[in-house]
Chain A
Amino acid sequence: MICSFLHPGLLLIFSGLLIPFFSGFRRTLFICIIPLISLFIVWNLSFGSSCTVSYLGYELILINFDSLSRLFATVFCITVLVAGFFCCKQAKSTELATAFVYAGAATSVILAGDLISLFLFWELMALASTLLIWSSQNNNSYQAGMRYISIHLLGGVILMCGIVGHAHETNSIAFTQMQLNSISTWLILFGFLLNAGAPPLSAWLADAYPETSFSGMVFLSAFTTKTAVYVLMRGFPGTDLLIYIGLFMIFYGIIYALLENDMRRILAYSIINQVGFMVCGIGIGTEMALNGTAAHAFTHIVYKALLLMSAGSVLYMTGKRKCSELGGLIQSMPITAVCGIIGALSISAFPLTSGFVSKSMISQASVDEHLLWVWLLLQAASAGVFLHAGIKFPWFVFFQKDSGLRPSDPPKNMQVSMIFFAMICILIGIFPNILYSMLPYPVFYQPFTSAHIISQLQLLLFSGLAFFVMLPLMKRTLTISLDFDWFYRCLIPKLSSIIFNYLSKVDIAIKEALRNKIVFIFYRIKINYHLSLSNSILIVMILFSVLLFYYFIN
């Protein structure tokens, strides 16, 4: 099938399966070349549908290409290249292979033009990401992976029910914009939102991602939530409900990140927070908002990967994840620290970094629609992002009290990857037109007005002031915060063990009673009726008919 060679997603998937056959320099070369070929294919695809396959009487469209899918496919290929190079010498081949399959599945979801192929790659993504979570190969990651896959398979089943219903109602499997006017579209929306980390089932993200290897989380942060953002943009733009869900995610992310002690879990919560901005933008749904969402997804993938590479380097060099055990690392890891700070400034939308040119489009869209409250909450959230990710992460890892740890900067390949993404963050921050020219709609927005720069600086710097004024209240403690996962990690196992204990007691009692009863009946028959021939035939007939009945119902 010629199509699989020209399909950037399938290319990543199949070449990922070949990675275990290479080692050393050849493996590194392979890891770098394949994403570049994918990227090349993406930029040479023509807009429109291609690569169709017949399946179960349906025509599946594996590639439905336009400027939006090009933007996402581009950033996915770049991420798999840079994150792959980041760990090309340190990670096991199996980890890299699953990462490639995962990235390929995500790219295929982006390109899918119908709901069935979308669903198939959606599930492949869930499986590959679970394997990636297991790549740190310890009991914690195993259990977190099991919880992760349970939630995602649940989401998958709900999504499939929705797709089946939708296909039945509309007689079409085409993936186009949907209205929330039937149960099936609600189910599809639920399935999509689950992967975006939306409430109530948002705990899977911060539960599972930090348990993976130092490099696995770089891949994980990029694909699952962003494919969800993409499909929401395609399927449900302008759905008001998404504004409120997005706002909830934004503040949920901030509050939980403020309470958190584990540096990678802080960044995991901030993924939910940033995806909240995007979901909110999709809810606003104007061209400006959707442009902002697409731009923010692009910049977010880059700076979040940068932050996680920085955190991953710290984890790789020190073996520690908790803020209470870290601190003072700028003294011996200056490159990691500077790259981490650039990522932190970008996520906070500091002027001249990539977040500034993308996030402000979403708040501008809320201004254009005169949504005062949404705008106020987005501004408060921007301040909150600087608080929990912009300052908290670098401060507790690279500054604060000296932990006495003196690890050096990580190996060269890890440094190069970080520096490359840090440069992209600044490049987009200075020349936003590079990004704006790739967006789905024409951009009529100028981020660099003096009023915008000054207002953003005021907002951020005074949030920073609040951080240092309130620092005594932010003291790190050896704690975790309960989340929705408490229900399936504590409550349900406890309840079910109580119920099963009780049921087994009832079961024993029933068996006991039945045994006594049967013995009693036969005793009675024996004593009182002196089993006559006719009686025995009757009993045999009854038993025989029961058997026959049993046979037929089976």
Chain B
Amino acid sequence: MKKNWFYRKSSIKKLYIYSAVFLGIVIITEYFITMHPHFKIESIFSFYAIFGFLSCVVLIFIAKILGFFIKRKDDYYDM
């Protein structure tokens, strides 16, 4: 049976390329439009991309560290 489009090796490669191109486009577009920064920090080039990426990394690390203390087996309360 033919694999679903999302699970074919060729389409996964395509998806990588499209995503990379799309990420590039949203950065480059910033050159061509006026951004109306309200706060000083917003005027850094591609501020939103950097900020979005970093805040996610920080959130995942916080979750990881917290998980170390509060994660239990899923039958914890059934025992």
Contact (Cβ within 8 A) B48 A255: no
Find the A residue at minimum CB distance from B61.
A473
Among B7, B56, B67, B76, the residue within 8 A (CB) of A402 is: B7
Given the complex, which residues of A lie within 8 Å of B26, measured CB to CB? 454, 457-458, 461
A379 touches B51 (CB 8 A): yes
Contacts of A259 in B (CB 8 A): 63, 66-67, 70-71
- The minimal Cβ–Cβ distance linking A411 to chain B, given in whole angstroms, is 23
Task: Check if B23 sits within 8 Å of A465, measured CB to CB.
Answer: yes
User: In the complex, are the beta carbons of A481 and B71 less than 8 A apart?
Assistant: yes
CA–CA, A526 and B41, complex, Å? 95
The distance from the CB of B18 to the nearest CB of chain A, in whole angstroms, is 12
| Chain A nearest CB, measured from B46 CB (Å) | 6
From the candidates B27, B34, B67, B70, name the one contacting A458 in the complex (CB within 8 A). B27
Give the secondary structure class of A's interface. helix
Cβ–Cβ < 8 Å partners of B33 in chain A: 450-451, 454
Among B49, B52, B57, B73, which residue has the most Cβ atoms of chain A within 10 A?
B52
- Assess A455 versus B76: contact at CB under 8 Å? Given A259-B63, A387-B60, A466-B57: no
| Range, interface on chain B | 35 or more
Flag whether A45 is at the interface (Cβ < 8 A).
no
Q: Are A465 and B53 also in contact (CB < 8 A) when A331-B6, A481-B67 are?
A: yes
The interface residues of chain B lying within 8 Å CB-to-CB of A328 are: 4, 7
Q: A258-B59, A380-B51, A460-B52 are in contact. Are A480 and B71 (CB under 8 A)?
A: yes
CA gap between A456 and B41 in the complex, in Å: 16
Q: Are A473 and B72 in contact (CB under 8 A)?
A: no
Interface centre among A255, A478, A483, A489 (most CB of B within 10 A): A255
A553 interface residue, CB < 8 Å from B? no
What residue in chain A is nearest B51 (Cβ atoms)? A379
List the A residue with the shortest CB-CB distance to B25.
Answer: A457
Residue pair B71, A477 in contact (C-beta under 8 Å): yes
Q: Which of A272-294 contact B (CB under 8 A)?
A: none
In the complex, whether A119 has a CB less than 8 A from a CB of chain B is no
**Is the CB–CB distance between B51 and A330 below 8 Å?**
no
**CB-CB < 8 A to A384: which residues of B?**
55-56, 59
Does A540 have its Cβ within 8 Å of any Cβ on chain B?
no
Q: Could you tell me if B74 and A255 are in contact, using CB atoms closer than 8 angstroms?
A: no
Mostly, the B contact residues are helix
Given contacts A255-B59, A454-B33, contact A489 B49 (CB under 8 A): no
A330 / chain B contacts, CB cutoff of 8 Å: 4, 6
* Residue A344 is within 8 A (CB to CB) of chain B in the complex: no
Residues 449-471 of A, flagged 1 when their CB comes within 8 A of B and 0 if not, give 11100111111111101110010
| B23 with A470: CB separation less than 8 A | no
Contact of A538 with B by CB under 8 A: no
Shortest CB–CB separation between residue B42 and chain A, in angstroms? 8
Cβ of A482: which chain B residues have Cβ within 8 Å of it?
70-72, 76
Q: Would A258 and B71 count as touching, CB distance under 8 A?
A: no
Instruction: Please determine whether B74 and A480 come into contact, CB atoms closer than 8 angstroms.
Output: yes
- Residues on B with beta carbons closer than 8 Å to the beta carbon of A376: 41, 51
Complex-state Cα separation, A375 to B47, whole angstroms:
14
CA distance A258 to B59 in the complex (A): 9
Residues of A within 8 A of B70 (CB): 259, 481-483
Decide if A478 touches B74 in the complex (CB within 8 Å): yes
CB distance from A330 to the nearest CB of B (A): 6
User: Are A473 and B56 in touch, CB under 8 angstroms?
Assistant: no
Residues of B at the A interface (CB closer than 8 Å) are 4, 6-7, 22-23, 26-27, 29-30, 33-36, 38-39, 41, 46-53, 55-60, 62-64, 66-67, 70-74, 76-77
**Which residues of A line the B interface, CB within 8 A?**
251, 254-255, 258-259, 261, 322, 328, 330-331, 367, 372, 375-376, 379-380, 383-384, 387, 399, 402, 449-451, 454-463, 465-467, 470, 473-474, 477-483, 489-490
Closest 10 CB pairs of A and B: A466-B56, A380-B55, A458-B48, A459-B52, A458-B49, A258-B63, A383-B52, A462-B53, A331-B4, A462-B49
Instruction: Taking A461-B52, A478-B73, A482-B72 as given, write out 11 further A-B residue pairs in contact, using a Cβ cutoff of 8 Å, ordered by the A residue number.
Output: A259-B66, A330-B4, A372-B39, A375-B39, A461-B23, A461-B26, A462-B48, A466-B56, A480-B74, A481-B71, A482-B70
